C-alpha cells in the first residue's frame, strides 16, 4: 500500500505512480532544470525511475517523493532519500529538484527537512549524504541550510562534485 501523502505548505509529498510520469518528465526536462541533473531524459526513463522508486519503497520502507501542488495536482518538484553506491560505499542520498516557477521559496529546503526527519527518526539511518556539481550554488546553499557538513570533492561523469553529509547526532543537535 502506498504511504499517506505528507502535507508541505500548499503542496504534498507522494510516492509517484505512473500517472505522474508526464508531469515528472516535464519537470526533469525543463530547460532550467535538466542541465543540473545531467541532461534530458526520455519518458521511458522517467517511467522506469518511478517503478524503481516504488520498488525501493517496498524493499526499504522509504523512497523519493514527487511534490504535487494541492490546487492543481501538478508535479512541482521531486526529491527525498534513496540508497546509492557512492565511491565504493552504500550511502543514502538526499536529492531534490524544483520547478523554476517555485525556486527561492524554500521548497527544496522544507522537503529536505521532512526527508531528514523520516531518514533519521523513522528509518533509523545513521548518516545521509548529498552531492552536487561545484557550480550548483543553489543546491549547496540548501545543503548548508540543512546543516550538512562539507566532506570533500570528487569527480562524477567527468564533472567536479561537492560531497556533504549529516549524521543523526548532528541532525538531532541542529533540530533540538
Ligand X SMILES: CC(C)(COP(=O)(O)OP(=O)(O)OC[C@H]1O[C@@H](n2cnc3c(N)ncnc32)[C@H](O)[C@@H]1OP(=O)(O)O)[C@@H](O)C(=O)NCCC(=O)NCCS
What is the contact surface with ligand X in residues (CB under 6 A)?
33, 36-37, 95-98, 103-109, 132, 136-139, 141-142
Closer by beta carbon to ligand X, 15 or else 97: 97
- Rounded Cα distance between 65 and 22, Å, is 15
Is residue 78 within 8 A of residue 24, CB to CB? The reply is yes
Find cell 546543516 and name the residue.
Answer: 147
Find cell 516557477 and name the residue.
Answer: 101
Q: How far is the CB of 173 from ligand X (least distance, A)?
A: 20
Closer by beta carbon to ligand X, 25 or else 95: 95
Q: How many CA atoms lie within 13 A of 104 on its CB side?
A: 2
Find cell 524493499 and name the residue.
Answer: 59
Closer by beta carbon to ligand X, 27 or else 125: 27
Is residue 174 within 8 A of residue 148, CB to CB? The reply is no
Q: How far is the CB of 69 from ligand X (least distance, A)?
A: 13
Q: How far is the CB of 72 from ligand X (least distance, A)?
A: 17
Q: How far is the CB of 1 from ligand X (least distance, A)?
A: 29
Closer by beta carbon to ligand X, 63 or else 67: 67
Amino acid at each position: 500500500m502506498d504511504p499517506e501523502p505528507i502535507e508541505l505548505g500548499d503542496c504534498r509529498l507522494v510516492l509517484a505512480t505512473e500517472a505522474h510520469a508526464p508531469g515528472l518528465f516535464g519537470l526533469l526536462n525543463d530547460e532550467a532544470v535538466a542541465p543540473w541533473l545531467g541532461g534530458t531524459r526520455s519518458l521511458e526513463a522517467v517511467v522506469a525511475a518511478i517503478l524503481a522508486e516504488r520498488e525501493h519503497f517496498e524493499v526499504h520502507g522509504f523512497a523519493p517523493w514527487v511534490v504535487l501542488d494541492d490546487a492543481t495536482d501538478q508535479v512541482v518538484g521531486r526529491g527525498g532519500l534513496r540508497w546509492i553506491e557512492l565511491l565504493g560505499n552504500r550511502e543514502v542520498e538526499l536529492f531534490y529538484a524544483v520547478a523554476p516557477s517555485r525556486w527561492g521559496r524554500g521548497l527544496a529546503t522544507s522537503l529536505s527537512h521532512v526527508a531528514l526527519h523520516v531518514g533519521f527518526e523513522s528509518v533509523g539511518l545513521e548518516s545521509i549524504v548529498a552531492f552536487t556539481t561545484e557550480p550548483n550554488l543553489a543546491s549547496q546553499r540548501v545543503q548548508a541550510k540543512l546543516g550538512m557538513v562539507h566532506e570533500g570533492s570528487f569527480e562524477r561523469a567527468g564533472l567536479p562534485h561537492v560531497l556533504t553529509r549529516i549524521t543523526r547526532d548532528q541532525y538531532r543537535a541542529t533540530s533540538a
